[in-house]
């Protein structure tokens, strides 16, 4: 959809509604994740779609757009944004920016590449990012990150879903393995601090409407068009969009880039956050 058509509110609403109906027809073709047991409680029928143009104060929202769900890996792009905003660019000495082509929780390349995760959006890389958030404890790091989110999306609660957190904490052996393995290579210092922060970060709740609000900053070169203030450095925003485009959908990233062609980030709870730079 062109920028001109986006400014035509009726045309935008009709397009979003059509996309929503098409998505609804496809709902039965997937399944909810259950390797984190609490995620299996989600209804496969929940579906919301929100589009927020950069030059509009209100988004177009349909379906379950105000339903809170744990953000899971959609949170990874914002924890990286928070870290870069705190000027921790040294993180890129510990995490690469190349697509991995592997599943999100794969450990194979960590062995080949001496404990340096390929990128910040696979689990290994996101564990490194989360653990480096400002604060001495898990709670301080998460509070700092929640403050970052709430500073942009002032109406968002971004609380932690404790059931989802505990459920992943009890079953997250693979993420613990990644953290321990990276400790061996000295990519990180305290594997349990890093891993627990990561799992709590994934359990932070948001809504489709809130995600669209956060995405405005990414779509608008780092400047929040609603509060009219710069939130992120322009160069950092470019970095974030580049890693979304090249790494945001793990081993499906090439397919989605070919078929859809915009930077996006997925999460196992079903969220999909996409940015059309300069547009929405």
Q: How far is CA 232 from CA 81, 134, 142, 156, in A?
A: 7, 16, 19, 19
Q: Mark whether 75 is an active-site residue.
A: no
DSSP string over 80-108: HHHHHHTT-GGGGGTS--S---S-TT--H
Give the shortest CB-134-to-ligand GLU separation in angstroms.
Answer: 21
Give the shortest CB-173-to-ligand GLU separation in angstroms.
Answer: 11
Q: Which is nearer to ligand GLU, 11 or 166 (CB)?
A: 166
Say whether residue 167 binds ligand GLU (CB under 6 A): no
Number of residue whose CB is nearest ligand GLU: 73
> Within 93-112, which residues bind ligand GLU (CB under 6 A)?
104-105
Q: Mark whether 73 is an active-site residue.
A: yes
Q: How far is CA 171 from CA 38, 183, 202, 225, in A?
A: 11, 20, 14, 40
Q: How far is CA 231 from CA 99, 195, 217, 242, in A?
A: 26, 27, 7, 18
Q: How far is CA 56 from CA 41, 166, 222, 241, in A?
A: 35, 38, 16, 21
Give the shortest CB-81-to-ligand GLU separation in angstroms.
Answer: 17
Q: Mark whether 76 is an active-site residue.
A: yes
CB 107 within 8 A of CB 178: yes
Distance CA 260, CA 53 (A): 18
Say whether residue 175 binds ligand GLU (CB under 6 A): yes
Say whether residue 168 binds ligand GLU (CB under 6 A): yes
Q: Which is nearer to ligand GLU, 104 or 148 (CB)?
A: 104
Give the shortest CB-226-to-ligand GLU separation in angstroms.
Answer: 27
- What residues line the site for ligand GLU (CB under 6 A)? 72-73, 104-105, 123, 168, 175, 202, 267-268
Enzyme catalytic residues: 73, 76, 198, 250, 268
């Amino acid at each position: 959809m062109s920028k001109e058509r986006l400014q035509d509110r009726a045309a935008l609403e009709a397009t979003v509604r059509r996309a929503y109906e098409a998505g609804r027809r496809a709902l039965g073709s997937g399944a909810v994740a259950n390797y984190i047991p609490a995620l299996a409680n989600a209804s496969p029928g929940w579906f919301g779609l929100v589009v927020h143009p950069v030059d509009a104060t209100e988004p177009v929202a349909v379906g379950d757009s105000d339903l809170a769900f744990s953000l899971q890996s959609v949170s990874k792009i914002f924890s990286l944004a928070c870290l870069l905003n705190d000027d921790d660019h040294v993180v890129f000495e510990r995490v690469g920016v190349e697509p991995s082509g592997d599943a999100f929780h794969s450990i194979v390349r960590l062995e080949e590449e001496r404990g340096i995760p390929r990128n910040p959006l696979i689990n290994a890389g996101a564990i490194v990012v989360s653990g480096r958030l400002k604060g001495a404890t898990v709670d301080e790091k998460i509070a700092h990150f929640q403050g970052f989110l709430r500073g942009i999306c002032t109406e968002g609660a971004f609380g932690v879903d404790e059931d989802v957190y505990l459920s992943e904490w009890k079953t997250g052996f693979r993420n613990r393995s990644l953290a321990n393995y990276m400790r061996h290579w000295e990519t990180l210092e305290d594997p349990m601090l890093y891993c627990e922060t990561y799992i709590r970060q994934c359990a932070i709740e948001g809504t489709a409407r809130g995600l669209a609000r956060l995405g405005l900053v990414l779509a608008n070169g780092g400047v929040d068009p609603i509060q009219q203030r710069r939130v992120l450095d322009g160069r950092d925003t470019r970095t974030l969009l580049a890693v979304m485009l090249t790494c945001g959908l793990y081993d499906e990233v090439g397919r989605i880039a070919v078929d859809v062609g915009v930077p996006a980030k997925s999460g196992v709870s079903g969220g999909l956050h996409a940015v059309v730079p300069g547009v929405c």
